[in-house]
Chains A and B, each alone.
Chain A
Amino acid sequence: MATPDEPGAIARGASAPNGSGRGNGTALIEAEHLELYFPVKKGILVDRTVAHVHAVDDVSLVLTEGETLGVVGESGCGKSTLARCLVRLHEPTGGTLRFRGRDITKLNRRGLQPIRREVQMVFQDPVSSLNPRKRVGQIIGVPMRLHGVDGSDVESRVRDLLHRVGLNPEHINRFPHEFSGGQRQRIGVARALAVNPKLLVLDEPVSALDVSVQAQVINLLDDLQDEFGLSYMFIAHDLSIVRHVSDRIVVMYLGKLMEVSPARELYEKPIHPYTQALLAAIPIPDPHENQARARTVLGGEPPNPIDPPPGCRFHTRCPHATEICATTEPPLAEYAGGHLAACHHLQSVGAEEIASAVRSSLSPTSAGDAMPDAEAARQAGDPAPGDPATGRGARTGATPPSPSAGPGSGAP
């Protein structure tokens, strides 16, 4: 039996079947109880730290080779900070971060250099993330030189990359402002690919683009993944776009993980009330369907991350919250099919399934041991609140009970 504190326990606990063909199960990045608190300072001459912003609060996750992990949440939920931690643009204030099994939590600049080559980032804003005074050839070529590509090869490789990302290689001497938004994002992708990385962290790469262009960039990312054998961490603020790229999806709220699930399962059967609310909030581009579904509009706003609410972070806005939610933080529990959720009042999950769930080793240390009450679920009858994507037709056929809860039974 592994304990969560033993190195590698989380990786073993979480390499659940990810439901899709991609991903070979070898952990690329492992985060264990990762924390990043930003200090809030006050004072004119002497900066006193008066509080902390709990940007990433005890998050554990594993990204395996070749898979795409989608990370979703509202603004301020810590998804971008988490991404920046994983590529070590921020140094975490707590927890451990491993890359290919090696601890990189506290590595300095020099120590990180070989890792920088393997982990690259694409930013949200294609305007401010490209130097306006550098030509495209320099923007893409400099990382190559820094990582030791021979000077004479650089130009031909830059041209090749431009071609791969769907830009005209003749435009190698143009400046960023001579390109449209979608083209600039392609330059950002080419720059990230310049050093042959294994993992691309994409921080809302298409949010700033028009819908028709979004689709072009998503399709490009899809092609490049197959071509270069890349792993992606894809961050987005809503669930509609990550669906097309992700093998697994992580839903975050106020610095914590709410639900982790194979992508298809998350859309067919979201079990966390927050995920359901996120899905229900997306309007469907079909007037009839849109009117037909009973949408529950989530009230209120995310609380202040400086002073997050006790217990379950979502309880202040959750339509199903009860007393226990305000006092006890729910652990991440693992259900059938590698579906993880941190909630006392799961939705669309049968009583048998709840009874056979196990506490996941990815659970935060602060979480209690209180697993969802199977007995209560049984008494309440079939929960089935209906399909949140359409809001229609209660899903009465509860999922079959599964005695085996996957290989994640490594909890103490």
Chain B
Amino acid sequence: MAERLLEVAELEVSFATEDGLVRAVDGVSFALHRGEVVAIVGESGSGKSVTVMTLMGLTRGVNSRFGGSARLGDRELVTASEAELERVRGAEIAMIFQDPISSLSPVMRIGDQIVEQIRAHEKVSKGAAMDRAVELMERVGIPRARDRARNYPHEFSGGMRQRVMIALALSLSPSVLIADEPTTALDVTIQAQILQEVKQLSQESSSGVIFVTHDLGVVADIADRVIVMYAGQVVEQGTLEEIFYDPQHPYTWGLLGSVTRMDRPPPRRLPAIPGLPPSLTDPPEGCHFAPRCPLRFDRCHELPPLQARVPGVAGHLDRCWLQAGDKRDRREVEGQIGLATEAVA
């Protein structure tokens, strides 16, 4: 096993709001190793973004409460001081955000923004830092990088801005790279370019990548391991193979079933998961997915722990009371993995 970079254990994040305590992240545990891409998948509001932003210390505020731990090497991130976090951010963990236009300063030249970050962490001359910035921009596929470094963000297209974000994130060779829906705002052809870029860079630099997305197609393209989140909790985690070919949780079945597949004839009706995700101020007792699950039974009012249930596969965890042996038949819908929704009227 490669070196373990990051270890998140029982991470909890909640926010006090007027409507009550929102339990955005509720006991999330996972590990990230060198050279590996871990994808976190879930619908909006599942807590995937809050999880990764907490690792960067970006969810801190008067209304936030934290629990559990997130260790980067021997450094604890959840309780780290602001000064300590400042040294970590950018240098050891870097983040690529979904919306590059609002994460770049509109009044600074692109090159200067990269230079500023390099010089905040390292004692190098402006000229040397600029050379590095240009080199980084070339590496992420920005043509005429020397000239483009003098441009402002608005002079770049969406795809190019996202490349700038990647260059910025790579500028200090961080060991952990977090990408929060980096391709969601982009066109498919540009998305394909950026995914190729991220894949190649993660292989070259041997850092660990956490890739947050809601798109299972993107996951299949880029991930080594997958974490499926629902209503603030991890409902299933395993390798890419395990999640796609032997998924254990009905929510994962539903997600896999509701993506359109271009390589198959279209189904007559799109399989949808009935209902809506629960409110995080008042999550259902027991399994959070139970109210939407056609396979629920008496035991589902008890919250199932996240544990390995598939015999012989220690790393494949899920949070479902169903017997692993029963699942194979129950997740088949028209010959594919899916959630048979007709059972719920």
Contact = CB atoms under 8 A, between A and B. Distances in A.
Given A211-B43, A244-B260, A287-B240, A237 B187 contact: yes
B123 interface: no
A282 B217 contact: yes
B4 to A, nearest CB: 24
Nearest to A296: B192
Contact of B220 (A239, A285, A390): A285
Nearest to A223: B269
A211 B188 CA distance: 16
Contacts of B271: 215
Interface string A143-183: 00000000000000000000000000000000000001111
A284 B261 contact: yes
Contact of B244 (A180, A215, A244, A287): A287
Interface string B203-220: 000000000001111111
Interface string A49-65: 00000000000000000
B187 A219 contact: no
B270 A389 contact: no
A232 B275 CA distance: 26
Contacts of B272: 212-216, 219
Contacts of A390: 263
Interface string B181-215: 00000011111110110000000000000000011
A98 interface: no
B189 A281 contact: yes
A280 B191 CA distance: 12
Contact of A210 (B160, B214, B217): B214
Nearest to A216: B272
Residue in A219, A279, A281 with the greatest tally of chain B CB atoms within 10 Å: A281
B262 interface: yes
Nearest to A74: B187
B44 interface: yes
B188 A290 contact: no
Given A281-B192, A285-B217, A298-B192, A240 B262 contact: yes
Residue in B43, B260, B274 with the greatest tally of chain A CB atoms within 10 Å: B260
Interface in A255-296: 267, 277-287, 289-290, 295
Nearest to B223: A287
A1 interface: no
B256 A285 contact: yes
Residue in A237, A277, A284 with the greatest tally of chain B CB atoms within 10 Å: A284
B35 interface: no
B214 to A, nearest CB: 6
Contacts of B215: 211, 283
Contact of B269 (A222, A241, A280, A295): A222
Contacts of B153: none
B82 interface: no
Contact of A278 (B160, B188, B218, B273): B188
A243 to B, nearest CB: 5
Contacts of B192: 280-281, 283, 295, 297-298
B244 A285 contact: yes
B127 interface: no
Contact of B193 (A74, A280, A297): A297
A355 to B, nearest CB: 31
Contacts of A282: 188, 217, 262
B193 A215 contact: no
Nearest to A293: B263
A285 B259 contact: yes
A152 to B, nearest CB: 34
Contact of B255 (A212, A244, A280, A284): A212
A307 interface: no
Nearest to A301: B157
A20 interface: no
Given A219-B270, A222-B269, A284 B189 contact: no
B258 interface: yes
A238 interface: yes
Given A244-B270, A285-B216, A211 B262 contact: no
A299 interface: yes
A231 B30 CA distance: 49
Nearest to A268: B265
A286 B336 CA distance: 11
Interface string B255-290: 110111111001001111110100000000000000
Contacts of B196: 297
B122 interface: no
B240 A298 contact: no
Residue in B191, B219, B270 with the greatest tally of chain A CB atoms within 10 Å: B270
A283 B263 contact: no
A70 to B, nearest CB: 12
B51 to A, nearest CB: 17
A212 B217 contact: no
Interface string B11-44: 0000000000000000000000000000000011
A24 interface: no
Contacts of B259: 211, 285
Contacts of A75: 158, 187
A241 B215 CA distance: 13
Contact of B261 (A181, A280, A286): A286
B159 interface: yes
Contacts of B273: 212, 215
A368 B255 CA distance: 48
Contact of B254 (A212, A278, A290): A212
B84 interface: no
The 5 closest A-B pairs by CB, nearest first: A215-B272, A283-B217, A215-B270, A212-B273, A281-B188
Interface of B: 43-44, 157-160, 187-193, 195-196, 214-221, 240-241, 244, 254-256, 258-263, 266, 269-274, 276
11 contacts: A180-B276, A211-B43, A213-B43, A214-B258, A283-B215, A287-B240, A289-B263, A295-B192, A297-B189, A298-B192, A301-B157
Given A74-B188, A285-B261, 7 more contacts: A210-B43, A282-B188, A283-B195, A285-B220, A287-B220, A298-B192, A298-B193
